[in-house]
């Protein structure tokens, strides 16, 4: 009997992926470890290899197909002795799922602890009742616009996935509507009023070009909207003096060892100091090193700092693990590697998932200050502006110093105003006295 090759889950939270490119064709003989295809998620493109051996009998999903659900059959593998006749009448969806493809590299996934499991259920549950609902983005959007409780809709797509036709059927037959009061009701009304058709009718035909969203942009929009709607943001700002830091940076870069071509092995940036200082601040204020969940507060044991990196079509946040215990040179080399692989979409899921907090630096674009949106499950994110010379009062005199404005966004459920102020104070202390980051 043919063996279905299924769309693999490249991360614990992945629901769909884009089948970017097949690396084999029908009739090819494959063995365990052979590369089958490239799968593109919102953050990375990964090569998938065969787990079983056999002959590619039929490719079910074409190159470039987006939103392919995890565990949907993407091809059929013929076993030894089988020919194309075995494919006649074979229903891949009715057969028992078989893991016939795997990411070329995978991070170790441990059995979730009770609290972590509850968090995962809450994140994956649009109904908030612990049951994960699988639905296409279009189905979710139509359900939201019409105030449909998507969790009670029966899915007719692959493996019970809810698709557009299921929501349209629910609109005709009627299903319980989602509770919507106050702000949520207003959001639903606005969403319904500003449908795609309504938006397009506001502009003259031919005055614009419609560029479809790629998977990255859709996921970014969905997650940041969810963050602003569900996370109570609270903002704290402070100015930091950079003169001592810039002096230390110059000395450290001047002392960097050279490679065989005479080039320095590292070049520490102000952002590397910011990453280190944020990690040290979390170490000094451990109560702020936390994530909110309905099951309880997750108190993190390590200080892992995510760093927003702009890439074509969006951004990604690779995580510098244990940044509090790493030297500035190592952080600099880690970030250089992350940025290069991020732009090529070659980061592994474990390299951009998790973390304790995040840093978003727009100073290189001339931005003085801004407020960043929290990236759940983080409880904080630091928005960093550019350094500039400003006149400030020191004692009774006005002097010129290099200043940098930063704004801390906090999830007020986990990090309230006083705790956030302590964290920001510890950060400022590290930035203004960089020697403190060496102890």
Q: What CA–CA distance (Å, rounded) separates 189 from 280?
A: 45
- End-to-end Cα spacing for the chain: 64
Asked if 74 contacts 7 with a C-beta cutoff of 8 angstroms, the reply is yes
Instruction: Say whether 350 is catalytic.
Output: no
Catalytic site residue from 159, 233, 350, 412:
412
**Burial state string for 56-66 with b = 16 or more CB within 10 A and e = fewer than 16:** bbbbebeeeee
Q: What CA–CA distance (Å, rounded) separates 219 from 5?
A: 26
Asked if 179 contacts 93 with a C-beta cutoff of 8 angstroms, the reply is no
380: exposed, middle or buried (Cβ count in 10 Å: 0-12, 13-18, 19+)? buried
CA angle (157 as vertex; 155, 161 as ends), nearest 5: 55
Tokens matching residue 104: 């070329």
Q: Residue 111 phi/psi, 5° resolution?
A: -60, 125
Residue numbers annotated as active site: 412
């Amino acid at each position: 009997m043919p063996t279905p090759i299924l769309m693999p889950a490249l991360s614990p939270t992945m629901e769909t992926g884009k089948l970017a490119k097949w690396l084999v064709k029908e009739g090819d003989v494959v063995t365990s470890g052979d590369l089958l295809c490239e799968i593109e998620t919102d953050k990375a493109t990964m090569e998938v290899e065969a787990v079983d051996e056999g002959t590619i009998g039929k490719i079910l999903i074409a190159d470039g197909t987006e939103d392919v659900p995890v565990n949907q059959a993407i091809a059929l593998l013929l076993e030894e002795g089988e020919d194309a006749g075995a494919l006649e009448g074979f229903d891949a969806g009715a057969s028992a799922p078989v893991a016939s493809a795997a990411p070329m590299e995978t991070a170790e996934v441990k059995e979730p602890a009770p609290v972590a499991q509850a968090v995962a259920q809450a994140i994956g549950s649009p109904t908030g009742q612990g049951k994960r609902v699988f639905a296409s983005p279009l189905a979710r959007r139509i359900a939201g616009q019409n105030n449909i409780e998507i969790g009670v809709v029966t899915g007719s797509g692959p493996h019970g996935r809810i698709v557009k036709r299921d929501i349209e059927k629910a609109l005709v037959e009627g299903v319980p509507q989602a509770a919507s009061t106050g702000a949520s009701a207003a959001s639903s009304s606005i969403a319904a009023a500003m449908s795609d058709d309504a938006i397009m009718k506001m502009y003259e035909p031919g005055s614009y070009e419609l560029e479809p969203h790629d998977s990255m942009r859709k996921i970014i929009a969905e997650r940041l909207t969810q963050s602003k709607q569900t996370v109570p943001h609270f903002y704290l700002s402070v100015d930091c003096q950079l003169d001592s830091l810039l002096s230390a940076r110059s000395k450290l870069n001047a002392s960097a060892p050279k490679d065989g071509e005479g080039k320095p092995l590292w070049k520490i940036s102000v952002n590397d100091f910011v990453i280190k200082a944020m990690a040290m601040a979390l170490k000094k204020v451990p109560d702020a090193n936390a994530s909110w969940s309905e099951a309880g507060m997750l108190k993190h044991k390590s200080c892992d700092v995510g760093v927003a990196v702009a890439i074509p079509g969006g951004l990604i946040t690779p995580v510098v693990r244990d940044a509090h215990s790493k030297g500035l040179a190592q952080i600099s080399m880690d970030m250089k590697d992350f940025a290069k692989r991020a732009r090529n979409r070659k980061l592994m899921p474990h390299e951009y998932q998790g973390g304790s907090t995040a840093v978003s630096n727009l100073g290189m674009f001339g931005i003085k200050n801004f407020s960043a949106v929290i990236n759940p499950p983080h409880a904080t994110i630091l928005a960093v502006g550019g350094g500039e010379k400003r006149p400030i009062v020191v004692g009774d005199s006005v002097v010129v110093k290099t200043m940098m404005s930063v704004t801390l966004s906090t999830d007020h459920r986990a990090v309230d105003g006083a705790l956030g102020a302590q964290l920001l104070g510890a950060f400022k202390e590290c930035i203004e006295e960089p020697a403190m980051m060496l102890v």
